[in-house]
Amino acid sequence: MKYKPRYAPLATCLLAAVPAHASDKTDFAGCDGLEQPGRQEDGMRGAASASPFASASIPAITIGTCSRALASPRLLPTQKLRQANLLRARAAAFLQSSNPAAALKDIDAASAVTADQANDPFFARSMPEKMPCIRVNVLSPGPVHTPGLVGLVGDDEMTQQGFLKHFAALIPLGRVGTPEEIGRAALFLASDDSSFVNGAELFADGGIAQV
């Protein structure tokens, strides 16, 4: 039985009802530095040729351009990756303007529109690019001895032990993990001990993902 780890991004990054206007085409560049989404499936077009994004220093302006871009009819409902990109850029501007509550709402909204990619570590690692104000890392736990895991095979204790032994045989360390071990790994990523760690994936799985 091949164990497939679930990826758990440790940063959890409202679509404002702002009417679109004649120059909303440039708002996309002003928000995340990319061209208007066009008809591409994900809306992630190349960098705008003349973008104020790189030199933007006033969060209020970025928040306004991002809000208009998110409300623009040029952004199709199916272009979820671009929606998430714009939401992350606005979240960064909210953080710069000392409004963490609004930033967290946008981070959560970005996670919601891309829920089908929640287990993609590469997508999770892309967050630091648009969120320079915070660190974003991924914790990927392996099999952990929890009621939820052993409960997959019912309530019989012997069956549960056999289930755990099966996993242990797949893990280089020869055992499953404990909730406390995963908690310590999460605490490390959330603490100042990892202050220079960003865009990384930490495997707390006894080595199972490496074999």
| pTM, full prediction | 0.53
Does position 203 have pLDDT exceeding 90, yes or no? yes
Q: Does residue 59 contact residue 97 with C-beta atoms inside 8 Å? A: yes
Separation of alpha carbons 200 and 135, rounded Å: 9
Q: How confident is the model at residue 116 (pLDDT cuts 50, 70, 90)?
A: confident
Domain parsing of the chain, residue ranges: 12-119, 140-186+202-210
Phi, psi (deg, nearest 5) at residue 94: -65, -40
8 A C-beta contact, residue 105 and residue 14: yes
- pLDDT tens-digit profile of 166-193? 999 999 999 999 999 999 999 999 898 9
